[in-house]
Amino acid sequence: VVGHPVVVNPDRVLARLAREREWETTQFTRPVRLRDRVPVPSLPIAAAMTGVAVAATGAALVVWRYGRRLRGAG
């Protein structure tokens, strides 16, 4: 067993199970949107990341096709 079980915002069934097993229960009443917690990259950074991904995919495709030709010619 790793750590200490904590039940977060349980429904009735889970809350009852937590009481039976003497687990800690926590209630969050003010939800925080994930978008507010995770930084979104700016447009130039997102564009650069997309460009790198496209270039890497293109390079992998070229290497794969070239490798197939070399193996097929032997």
Token digits of residue 5: 């079980």
pLDDT tens digits along 1-33: 678 899 999 999 999 999 999 999 999 888 878
Task: Please tell me the total number of residues recorded for the chain in this structure.
Answer: 74
Going by C-alpha positions, the residue among 20, 24, 19 that lies closest to residue 5 is 24
Q: Do the beta carbons of residue 31 and residue 12 sit within 8 Å?
A: no
How much is the pLDDT for 49? 97
Rounded to two decimals, what is the model's pTM?
0.45
Report the 10 Å Cβ neighbour count for 50: 10
For residue 8, the SS3 value is strand
- Domain layout of the chain by residue ranges: 1-31, 44-74
pLDDT tens digits along 54-74: 999 999 999 999 887 777 755
Mean pLDDT of the chain: 89
Q: Do the beta carbons of residue 30 and residue 9 sit within 8 Å?
A: no
